[in-house]
Chain A
Amino acid sequence: MTLTTTQALLIALAVTAGAMLTRFLPFLLFPDNRPVPKIVSYLGRTLPAAMMGLLVVYCLRNVSVTTAPYGLPELISIAVLAALHLWKRNVLLSIGVGTVLYMVLVQVVFV
């Protein structure tokens, strides 16, 4: 550890302050007693689906399709997971099967 305890605590505090600023700012700008502008409520309606798309791609950001295994474990697992989910609509079943399949693929099949 190169930092002193006080310095490390200040870093932890700075990281917390930065994180919490991003979480609280929208709610501070638009408190309960103030009407939300139309444009913001439009974004509030459209952003969740867009952010879910962002998070999916973000999770896959380090997958390379040009080097082995060419993203196949991810592609196969997500295809099975999505098909299963569209069929049964059971969140835990879809994620459970998808995750176990992925673990088998990366630990046993594509090694």
Chain B
Amino acid sequence: MTKTNQNRPAGGNASGRTTPAWRRALTAAFPHTVPVLTGYLVLGAAYGVLMQSKGFGAPWVLLMSAVAFCGSMQFAAITLLTSAFDPLGAFIMSVMVNARHLFYGVSMLEKYRGLGGVKPILIYTLSDETFSIVSSAEPPADVPRKSFYLAISLLDYVYWVGGSLLGSLAGQFIRFDTTGLDFALTGLFVVLFIEQVSDPRSRISGIIGIVCTAAARAIFGADQLVIPAMVLVLAVLLIGRKKL
């Protein structure tokens, strides 16, 4: 039914019709985000249910998930919301828990360079999972980098907000045993780790990440391993700078 358009812009699909650019970006991005969809729906729903049980309904869940958007820190913040009022303590704790994002930012300086108006959105929504995907995945030839990164970021963002709202509003109706479903996120990191270390130039830094974090886990325990692990990773990378 479409009229032939001789001035059709580049980027049309095989059937000869032009697909809107945003849809091409979403189509290219979606498969990369499916593991995140699984994991975020489960963890987001768990968050919504937990908030509900502490007396914080859907508006609060929406506020935390859509505005604060910080995953594990949102779980930690439940304690802050149910104990004595300490905003400075909350701020400091949030900086500590989210400190790993400093390293994500440093890693994305080059990829996110010159992306203009969407850059703040990409930075705001840069979760562990979004970082993992955008640091490995490359857009197909007909999708601009900017749209591809934006599509991944927004899809992941929507999954998290949607999952937590779902848990908040419909948590009591979930009957299916989801135990272990959040392993999808562990799986995502394992797969992307394999992708990263398949490049011989990244192999050693991947191993450094594993060894330093395992050492931090052994020394500092499960609850406060992230910052010691980051310091160790940074120290080893800087010491080994000449060789890597």
Q: Whole-angstrom distance between the alpha carbons of A32 and B98 in the complex?
A: 23
Tell me if B90 and A15 are in contact (CB < 8 A). Answer: yes
Per-residue interface assignment for chain A, residues 27 to 62, with 1 indicating a CB less than 8 Å from any chain B CB and 0 otherwise: 100101000100111111011111111111111111
- The total of Cβ contacts below 8 Å across the A-B interface reads 271
Tell me if B101 and A23 are in contact (CB < 8 A). Answer: yes
Q: List 15 A-B contacts (CB under 8 A).
A: A2-B83, A3-B81, A10-B85, A14-B91, A15-B93, A16-B68, A18-B98, A44-B109, A48-B135, A51-B104, A52-B135, A52-B196, A53-B207, A53-B210, A91-B31
Is A19 an interface residue, CB under 8 A from the partner?
yes
Given A16-B68, A46-B237, A73-B180, list of 4 further CB < 8 A pairs?
Answer: A15-B73, A16-B67, A48-B135, A107-B177
Q: Whole-angstrom distance between the alpha carbons of A58 and B220 in the complex?
A: 13
Is A66 an interface residue, CB under 8 A from the partner?
no
Q: State which of B35, B98, B102, B179 has its C-beta within 8 Å of the C-beta of A91.
A: B35
Query: Which A residues fall within an 8 A CB radius of B?
Result: 1-3, 7-27, 30, 32, 36, 39-44, 46-62, 73-74, 77-78, 81-82, 85-86, 91-92, 94-95, 98-99, 102-103, 105-107
Tell me if B94 and A102 are in contact (CB < 8 A). Answer: no
Q: Whole-angstrom distance between the alpha carbons of A19 and B91 in the complex?
A: 8
A34 to chain B, nearest CB (A): 10
